[in-house]
Structure 1
Amino acid sequence: MSSTRVTDLPLFPLQTVLFPGGLLSLKVFEARYLDLVSTCLRERRPFGVVALHKGNEVRRGEESIVFEDIGVTAELLEVDSAQPGILHLRCRGTQRFRIGATRQQPDGLWIASVQMLPDDTTAAPGEALHETVRGLANAIASLKGKGVEPFEQPYQFDSAGWVSNRWCEILPISLAAKQKLMELPDPRVRLELVDEFLRGQGVVK
């Protein structure tokens, strides 16, 4: 999707950064989000995930929250309702968006008028970044050896955007740093910054 259309989108502010192509597991129990999931399932529509800059994920009275201006739409892959009043969700990040006007419903759910941003351009990692690509393949193999499947297949090692996004998801960097990397419109620049960090940490030689 590369449209820049403007649309209304329900928001789920979280203390995490979702990347396009990334997986996200959520435990939902607040009424506003249970209703949101029901609506998204019924209408087959996504919701928006935005990183919290101030405040908490769980509503606490009239506590104010501040979230980032750019987020990522999430589509529902699995919904498990094994426990009454609690839903376990598995979602996939799809497309970035920029928030315009926002309003809060009486139940506390945020609705935003958003502009959908273009997908990453198709770009292969340059030769200088091949070690970083191999490093991700090794990281995936190591995680699989521990019984962890962090990313959705098929893997796209020939995509600078995919490789940089997957690295960003597992790197021990701050929420603010992940947000800035997610926002970058050029996937090659994003991967170059990841490569620079990895070399600085001695992960890639």
Structure 2
Amino acid sequence: MRFRSSTVKLPLLPLQAVLFPGGLLSLKVFEARYLDLVSSCLREHKPFGVVAVRQSSEGGKASDPNAFEAVGVMAELMEVDAPQAGILQVRARGLNRFTLVGQTQLDDGLWEGRTRALDNDERVAPSESQLETVKGLANAIGTLKQQGSEPFLKPFHFEDAGWVANRWCEILPISVAAKQRLMALEDPVGRLQLVDDFLRSKGVVR
């Protein structure tokens, strides 16, 4: 993987979900340690790291560092609302990916990760054979909007293979493990090709 040499400490938010670069993360936060994480990041204008909890036959647990996936995504807070005492409604944006070098659980129960940033996807246009999948995403966005759902942040970048692949991955009915593997792929065109193959196998695009 292409990564930068220096490491950065980030507070970690383990989830049974995968955040993609450029993606929207909407959460209701009520656990005390994560309320503290959000408050600290908001106050200090600092990002945090989102890592998926690895799925296993025993069931991954956020209390087990071995259950964390090796590649996560840095996130920045966009909006934080407090609809009632002890609950925060959070919207955050996915930034760049990172590899998790190590992690430590602090006294308050929060995990702090030593992370090394990975290079952003190279901006590459989808291939001609993938254009139906690009059109399919545009159609899906229109359908979702009619249904009152807008899961993607603007502006849209249909000319960017990585962006198209990431947005499809967010809404496809596939496992967390499959989404994690796709997110961690370095090649954005290859990621989009896997999505394209899946959609064609299901008859979503032709």
TM range (shorter): over 0.9
Counterpart CA distance in 2 for 1:68 and 1:26 is: 20
Give the deviation of 1:99 after TM superposition.
Answer: 0.5
Identity among equivalent positions (%) equals 60
The answer to whether structure 1 residue 123 and structure 2 residue 87 are counterparts is no
Write the mapping of 1:7-156 to structure 2, written as runs, cut at 5 A: 7-53=8-54, 54-56=59-61, 64=64, 66-156=67-157
- Could you tell me the TM-score, scaled by structure 1's length? 0.93
Q: Secondary structure at the match of 2:17?
A: coil
Moved over 3 A (4+): 54-57
- For structure 1, the 5+ residue unaligned runs are 58-62
Give the deviation of 1:55 after TM superposition.
Answer: 3.3
- The alignment covers a number of residue pairs equal to 199
Give the deviation of 1:155 after TM superposition.
Answer: 0.6
Counterpart CA distance in 1 for 2:83 and 2:144 is: 28
Counterpart CA distance in 2 for 1:119 and 1:202 is: 31
Counterpart CA distance in 2 for 1:181 and 1:55 is: 19
Amino acid at match of 1:64: D
- 1:14-62 CA-to-partner distances (Å, cap 9, x unmatched) read 01000000001111111111111111011111101110114346xxxxx
Give the deviation of 1:192 after TM superposition.
Answer: 0.4
- For structure 2, the 5+ residue unaligned runs are none
Give the deviation of 1:108 after TM superposition.
Answer: 1.0
Counterpart CA distance in 2 for 1:113 and 1:93 is: 18
Amino acid at match of 2:89: H
Counterpart CA distance in 1 for 2:173 and 2:107 is: 37
- 1:141-172 CA-to-partner distances (Å, cap 9, x unmatched) read 11011111111111100000100000000000
Q: Secondary structure at the match of 1:38?
A: helix
Q: Note the aligned Cα RMSD (angstroms).
A: 1.4
Give the deviation of 1:64 after TM superposition.
Answer: 3.5
- Could you tell me the TM-score, scaled by structure 2's length? 0.93
Give the deviation of 1:6 after TM superposition.
Answer: 1.3
